[in-house]
Structure 1
């Protein structure tokens, strides 16, 4: 008898529900003070809280999207990683936010938790951030999280990325051509959330070479990090 494969929505809901059922002491945030985020580079989104991410590339453009990812990266790792895991990869003690769908359904769940937190049996498992971080910060973090690559996203490209990494480390190759190839590979990296664009070490290495073609070392080091994380 075949077993039906759950939809992405059902899977993400199940993972989040299971994590929320963990013992309180495992998920408590403790006394870590929220860290401020500089969101001046992002366009304003108004005073009323939105229910859909305004910084996705298809709505705001690639430049705004990339800015939101970078600001969200810093904000997430300062304010959220302690419980939800570095790079949004949960260790199992809190919901793995990478699987929260990159559509309005997932946005509504996210922004509700961001603003008001989560309490169970009178105990706060997650504090609300509405009073300490603004809406632009909230959606920047959301943008970063939803662009995390899925597990194994680089597996099909490991051999070629290793060759490129070694070529860059040796100071060889046409960096313009290498940047173009890395951009092409980055476009095929799938996200865990279903978002159409992933922010990965591959895309960031391509960006480094596009902005500073002589920075082979920086691009090589980023690829090394990505390849190490893939194993």
Structure 2
């Protein structure tokens, strides 16, 4: 049975029209789903012990692309057990709290590459040979940027007001974008990573001078706020 937070997120996704109901159950299919990592730099054949796609190593552009690819890879292959958006419903560890350092990386890559078996029962399948190292580190990058629980609480009232303003197509694009970016910079990750990939940062990125972007940014905020409640 899905937990309350996951049900709210699914409902928000459907209401926003960003995902069709039939697609909701594609997350975490038993058969591993391929992850296209062509846009990411090569990392060699030998498995690394530290995430190569962090911004301080690979640059902001590579980091952002890794988050995007990791988002898709995680929600297609890992969410069935670890929860949509990496918010665990209790069936498996909440990977958001795996520290964004070499120790956390080593734990992650061991599980991703080889899986985990306990008392003869496979608790997690091995994804290393199936998805490859680049996909693994992209998923790791996405996971460590997830906001901690309650990260939006202090800004909830203002974000609802901004969302409503955007839905009406009102407000100054540059001013709203700047305010969203400022709020996004204050959103803490559960892993201790310096930058969170949150609904606020995504809404800020979606907002442009195109009037149609106002509604899209509002929908992104709606999903994030619904999941946080």
Which secondary structure state, in structure 1, belongs to the residue aligned with residue 91 of structure 2?
coil
State the distance in 1 between where 2:142 and 2:42 align.
18
1:60 is aligned to 58
Q: Structure 1 stretches of 5 or more lacking a match?
A: 1-29
1:167 is aligned to 165
Deviation at 1:67, TM superposition (A): 0.5
State the distance in 2 between where 1:212 and 1:199 align.
23
1:101 is aligned to 99
Runs in 1 of length 4+ with deviation above 3 angstroms? 210-214
2:141 is aligned to 143
State the distance in 2 between where 1:213 and 1:108 align.
45
Deviation at 1:192, TM superposition (A): 0.5
Out of 153, 157, 166, which is 1:155 matched to? 153
Higher relative contact order (CA 8 A, sep 6+): 2
Deviation at 1:31, TM superposition (A): 8.2
Deviation at 1:115, TM superposition (A): 0.4
Do residues 189 (structure 1) and 187 (structure 2) align? yes
2:45 is aligned to 47
Q: Deviations over 1:59-90 (max 9, x none)?
A: 11111111101100000000000111111011
State the distance in 2 between where 1:58 and 1:80 align.
26
User: CA-atom RMSD, angstroms?
Assistant: 1.5
Which secondary structure state, in structure 2, belongs to the residue aligned with residue 131 of structure 1?
helix
Larger Rg: 1
CA pair 145-212 structure 1, distance change in 2 beyond 3 A: farther
TM-score (norm 1): 0.84
Q: Structure 2 stretches of 5 or more lacking a match?
A: 1-27
State the distance in 2 between where 1:31 and 1:187 align.
34
TM-score (norm 2): 0.85
1:176 is aligned to 174
2:218 is aligned to 220
The 8 Å contact of residues 147 and 193 in structure 1, kept in 2 or not, is answered as yes
The 8 Å contact of residues 53 and 137 in structure 2, kept in 1 or not, is answered as yes
Choose 55-64 or 144-153, whichever is displaced more.
55-64
The 8 Å contact of residues 54 and 141 in structure 2, kept in 1 or not, is answered as yes
